[in-house]
Amino acid sequence: MARIGVFDSGVGGLTVLRALHRRLPDASTVYLGDTARVPYGTKSPEVVIRYTRNNARFLLGHDPHLVVVACNTASAHALEALRRELAVPVIGVIEPGARAAAARTRSGRIGVIGTAGTIASGAYQRALAAAIPGAEVVARACPLFVPLAEEGWTDGEVARLVVERYLGDLRGAIDTLVLGCTHYPLLQQVIAEVLGPEVALVDSAEATAAAVEDALRAIDAAPAPADHRYFVTDVPARFPEIAARFLGHAPERVEQVDV
């Protein structure tokens, strides 16, 4: 019965939306993918904050009870700014991801991987340090993971070599790895093969959906049928097809907007 606004730089945030649909089947959702300006992971904090403001303003037009920043890079750079500026609660993916890692680790030796922007921001490093006293965190940018996932090369020799080159030296050095980018779960299997069964892989989607559920408990929303809308800033052309990989099914209707 609640209305949830969700945005991401493109399609990756649909993994978070999928977790929300599963956990909160009665909630209505509005998803915005900023496909005309994707990716955010290579851009500066200033530009990511500007784009994030544009996206949030668009979603506010749909009168949500809560806004989810379903993009790690946007959460890393812009969550504090949005929380200051928006009148509704704002939930990012980093704090929930860090709490999920805290629940999994035994040794306190944790890896986190993400875009160049996410890792450079230090947001995960701070959130993990806050959630796990005495944590030893190895943070690493893996810029080729997103293009690999988007190309669909999620198994095979190229994927294995790229994962080995970025993460091979973490084998045996950590017991938990946070997948700090919504594309990375698509590479989960090959990452697990390279790191071995003793490393737990944590993605933020489920933990973020749980945080949204908690936040919505305090909200008194009138009963209404659940409705799901999808917006993108570039032409939707291949969006439904690519979205299916992240969401589990192709959205029926996708509308283009200028934010």
Give catalytic residue positions. Answer: 71, 181
- Could you say whether residue 153 binds a copy of itself (CB under 8 A)? yes
Q: What region does 108 belong to: left with phi over 0, alpha with psi -120 to 50, or beta?
A: left
**Alpha-carbon separation of residue 219 from 4, 67, 89, 190 (angstroms):** 12, 13, 10, 41
- Could you say whether residue 46 binds a copy of itself (CB under 8 A)? yes
d(C-alpha 199, C-alpha 89), whole Å: 33
Beta carbon nearer to a copy of itself, 1 or 144: 144
Interface with a copy of itself by CB under 8 A: which range of 53-61, 77-85, 158-166, 171-179? 158-166
d(C-alpha 65, C-alpha 63), whole Å: 7
Provide the minimum distance between the beta carbon of 230 and a copy of itself in the complex, in angstroms, as a whole number.
Answer: 16
227 burial level (CB within 10 Å; 0-12, 13-18, 19+): exposed
d(C-alpha 148, C-alpha 183), whole Å: 9
Residue matched to tokens 């790690």 = 72
Interface with a copy of itself by CB under 8 A: which range of 76-84, 92-100, 152-160, 196-204? 152-160
Interface with a copy of itself by CB under 8 A: which range of 19-27, 148-156, 199-207, 214-222? 148-156
Helix (H) or strand (E) holding 164: helix 156-167
Beta carbon nearer to a copy of itself, 108 or 143: 143
Beta carbon nearer to a copy of itself, 48 or 211: 48
- Could you say whether residue 169 binds a copy of itself (CB under 8 A)? no
Q: What binding mask, one character per residue, do residues 14-43 give for a copy of itself by CB under 8 A, x or -? A: ---------------------xxxx---xx
**Alpha-carbon separation of residue 150 from 147, 202, 246, 257 (angstroms):** 5, 20, 11, 23
Give CA 235 to chain center in angstroms.
22
- Could you say whether residue 150 binds a copy of itself (CB under 8 A)? yes
Beta carbon nearer to a copy of itself, 42 or 125: 42
- Could you say whether residue 220 binds a copy of itself (CB under 8 A)? no
- For binding to a copy of itself (CB under 8 A), which residues are involved? 35-38, 42-44, 46-47, 143-144, 146-148, 150-151, 153, 157-158, 161-162, 165, 234-235, 237
